[in-house]
Amino acid sequence: MKTRLPVRQAILDRQTYDAPAEGREGKIRLDFNENTSGCSEAVRRAIAKISAKNLAMYPEYAQPTKRIARHLGVRPAELLLTNGGDDALRVFFDTFVEPSSSILICEPTFPMYRYYAEIAGAKIDTLRYDSSMKFPLVDALVALRKKPRVFFLANPNNPTGTLVPAQEIRAILQAAGDTAVVIDEAYAEFSGATVLPWIRTFPNLFVVRTFSKAAGLASLRLGAVMAHPDSLAFLRRAMPPFPVNLAAMVAAEAALSEGSAIKKYVRATVRVRTEFAKELSRLGVTVFPSAGNFLLADFGAQGPALFAALAKSGILVRERTKDMGAGFVRITIGSKPEMKRFQQVAKRFAAKSGGKFS
């Protein structure tokens, strides 16, 4: 149908919308970096206890924010809860980015930075990880001289799994001046690395976290931005009044107060990741060291056929063939049995060519 609706130019210019995959239930889901074992029982019990009256009320934020802040080691004024990490990222555009102002990212990275930048009609300055997935610090310091409004840096980065050392982030923050530096720590529980305490030193630092990964609450959509209260105040002005639902906050509190379940899952995931990486290396696959609950691998020319075989066996992975090269794939680290299933399919496949991917 032809329409003359007054659609914004940035939306007309946007070619794509890739709807997320559906029909994943029951499969081995190594494609979204979820906690594939599910959240803890304490979370389920806490959600079940929410009363009908409370469900019918608009949520109140002061008390849950106070409790979640305490668990995260910040003051309530330093914490903003958002509708998932994705939504936390969107708020930076609403707060800082005018159409045609620029943002800085380092690709390959989490696609939502580019996604929101396109919607905002922003210019996207792009750095690149090199072929060994090393972060280009010098290029970043040069690019910051152009004063982008926001620099988004995922640490560990998705999909490379790489971690930018703390002293390099310090150099970025010092060079960034008035640029808002967003350190996206969606996988901090797995890396054990954080620059969160620095929000008290650098007013241009914003740390983003999510409850979708280690805490296993992806369906509830809860994220957080932490920053100096004066800086966070600008983001608050760009927020709707009820951005986060009650169940998400109740679940997050339960997950954090029973932190041992998260720690146990993280420890198991790191252990399985190490074993799985070794196993892939033995099969001749190039594996990039990862600090997250996933890893990036290059299966070479046989990659695409293997990915098709995995899909046929009900194993979902995130192919990076389009943007990184034919054999590239990001694989979420699931449970030990799930990774064994992957290995069985990969070994069977490699057996056809002398037992190795080349």
Ligand X SMILES: Cc1ncc(COP(=O)(O)O)c(C=O)c1O
Q: Which of 33, 160, 179, 302 binds ligand X (CB under 6 A)?
A: 33
In this complex, which beta carbon is closest to ligand X, that of residue 105 or of residue 350? Answer: 105
158 scored as a contact of ligand X (CB under 6 A): yes
Length of the chain: 358
- Give the nearest distance from C-beta 172 to ligand X in angstroms: 17
184 scored as a contact of ligand X (CB under 6 A): yes
186 scored as a contact of ligand X (CB under 6 A): yes
Strands (E), the chain: 28-30, 79-82, 102-107, 123-128, 150-154, 180-184, 205-210, 223-227, 286-287, 294-298, 315-319, 328-332
Give Dmax (Cα) for the chain: 64
Residue range at the interface with ligand X (CB under 6 A); choices 13-21, 73-81, 84-92, 230-238 = 84-92
Phi-psi region for residue 252, left (φ > 0), alpha (ψ -120 to 50) or beta? Answer: alpha
160 scored as a contact of ligand X (CB under 6 A): no
**DSSP three-state, residue 153:** strand
Residues 253, 84: Cα–Cα separation, whole Å: 15
Residue range at the interface with ligand X (CB under 6 A); choices 78-86, 199-207, 259-267, 333-341 = 78-86
Interface of this chain with ligand X, residues 209 to 248, rule: CB under 6 A: 210, 212, 218, 223
332 scored as a contact of ligand X (CB under 6 A): no
- Give the nearest distance from C-beta 346 to ligand X in angstroms: 24
- Give the nearest distance from C-beta 216 to ligand X in angstroms: 11
Kindly provide the b/e burial profile for residues 259-286, where b requires at least 16 CB atoms within 10 angstroms of the residue's own CB.
Answer: eebbeebbeebbebbeebbebbeebbbe
Query: Please, which residues bridge with residue 318 across strands?
Result: 330
- Give the nearest distance from C-beta 186 to ligand X in angstroms: 4
Q: Which of 31, 40, 68, 86 binds ligand X (CB under 6 A)?
A: 86
By rule CB under 6 A, what count of residues binds ligand X?
13
| Among 264, 356, 241, CA closest to 306 | 356
In this complex, which beta carbon is closest to ligand X, that of residue 35 or of residue 158? Answer: 158
191 scored as a contact of ligand X (CB under 6 A): no
Interface of this chain with ligand X, residues 246 to 305, rule: CB under 6 A: none
Residues 19, 295: Cα–Cα separation, whole Å: 23
31 scored as a contact of ligand X (CB under 6 A): no
In this complex, which beta carbon is closest to ligand X, that of residue 166 or of residue 301? Answer: 166
In this complex, which beta carbon is closest to ligand X, that of residue 215 or of residue 315? Answer: 215
- Give the nearest distance from C-beta 169 to ligand X in angstroms: 15
- For ligand X, the nearest residue by Cβ is 85
Residues 166, 133: Cα–Cα separation, whole Å: 17
110 scored as a contact of ligand X (CB under 6 A): yes
- Give the nearest distance from C-beta 208 to ligand X in angstroms: 7
Query: Please, which residues bridge with residue 295 across strands?
Result: 331
The DSSP annotation for 299-358 comes to: -GGGHHHHHHHHHHTTEEEEE-HHHH-TTEEEEE---HHHHHHHHHHHHHHHHTTTT---
Residue range at the interface with ligand X (CB under 6 A); choices 48-56, 83-91, 296-304, 325-333 = 83-91
**N- to C-terminal Cα distance for the chain?**
50
| Among 181, 177, 180, CA closest to 169 | 181
Give me Rg for the CA atoms of the chain. 21
Task: Give contact residues for ligand X (rule: CB under 6 A).
Answer: 33, 84-86, 110, 154, 158, 184, 186, 210, 212, 218, 223
